[in-house]
Chain A
Amino acid sequence: MINQLRVPVNSDSDIVIARQKGRALAEQLGFSSSQLTLIATAISELTRNIVYYAKCGEVILQRDDNGARPGIVVIARDEGPGIEDIERALQKGYSTSGGLGLGLPGVRRIMDEFQIDSALGRGTTVRVKKWKL
């Protein structure tokens, strides 16, 4: 069984590739079909943020049996411009790209764990986890 996958992100079509690979990994780990869709949706949003804001980066998908609950971890990492105001970026309706501003808050809503680390000029890393029920 594959425990970790790295998906390079350079263009729009990588959004679909990343979420399909994430879904496949989560399926191997035994997630239910509704959880698979939530995981794929979160990967889609995080990967799109990389494409829109940083142009390129990577998505790491891994099985995680550490911590209180086993599950799947998705790490979306880029070396883009970084987020100026993380608090606002997590609010519904706030966007600097002309989007609806529902990506990051949506991801936080549908995943069980959510961590974001961003520094201006250095990039952004978002780590999310979905627990296996």
Chain B
Amino acid sequence: MAVPILKQGQYLIATIQSALSDVDLTHLQDALVGQVGKLRSRGVIVDVTALDVMDSYASRTLRDLAHMIRLRGAETVIVGIQPEVAFSVAPGSENQASSAKR
């Protein structure tokens, strides 16, 4: 399921609407990294409220996405991490999701 990307002035807002497959996550990454350049955006907000799980693949994709977007000249903020999801990610930060968050 594709994630809609909304342009709000100099910012892009991507609101995840449902659980995403690995392919969906990769599409989101490609789309945002592309749009940031095309629209000369300063920042990207990724709303992960609807994400049911943040496993190693999702963590890595979001972290890479934030890194690539920084290389493209914008900043990324991940918002809406559910308390249960934070609980699953946090212990020891072993799945490295935490490094993508600001």
Task: Give chain B's interface secondary structure class.
Answer: helix
Task: Scan residues 61-102 of chain B and give those whose CB is less than 8 A from a CB of chain A.
Answer: 82-85, 87-88, 91-92, 94-96
B54 at the interface (CB under 8 A from A): yes
Given contacts A16-B21, A19-B52, A19-B53, contact A106 B94 (CB under 8 A): yes
Q: Bound state CA distance, A44 and B22, in angstroms?
A: 10
Q: A41, B54: Cβ atoms under 8 Å? A: yes
Interface size on A, residues (CB 8 A): 26
Interfacial chain A residues near B55, Cβ < 8 Å: 41, 44-45, 48, 103, 106
A99 at the interface (CB under 8 A from B): yes
Interface 1/0 per residue, A16-48 and B, CB below 8 Å: 100110010000000001101110110011001
Identify the closest chain B residue to A19 (Cβ). B53
Q: B87, A37: Cβ atoms under 8 Å? A: yes
* Total A-B Cβ pairs within 8 A: 70
Within 8 Å by CB of A12, from B21, B83, B91, lies: B21
Task: Give chain A's interface secondary structure class.
Answer: helix
Task: Scan residues 83-103 of chain A and give those whose CB is less than 8 A from a CB of chain B.
Answer: 92, 99-100, 102-103
A74 at the interface (CB under 8 A from B): no
B19 at the interface (CB under 8 A from A): yes
Interfacial chain A residues near B88, Cβ < 8 Å: 34, 37-38, 41, 110
Q: B56, A37: Cβ atoms under 8 Å? A: no
Q: Bound state CA distance, A19 and B21, in angstroms?
A: 11
User: What are 21 A-B interface contacts by the 8 Å CB criterion?
Assistant: A12-B21, A12-B23, A15-B21, A19-B52, A20-B52, A34-B87, A34-B88, A37-B52, A37-B53, A37-B82, A40-B53, A41-B53, A41-B88, A99-B57, A99-B60, A100-B56, A100-B95, A102-B95, A102-B96, A106-B95, A110-B88
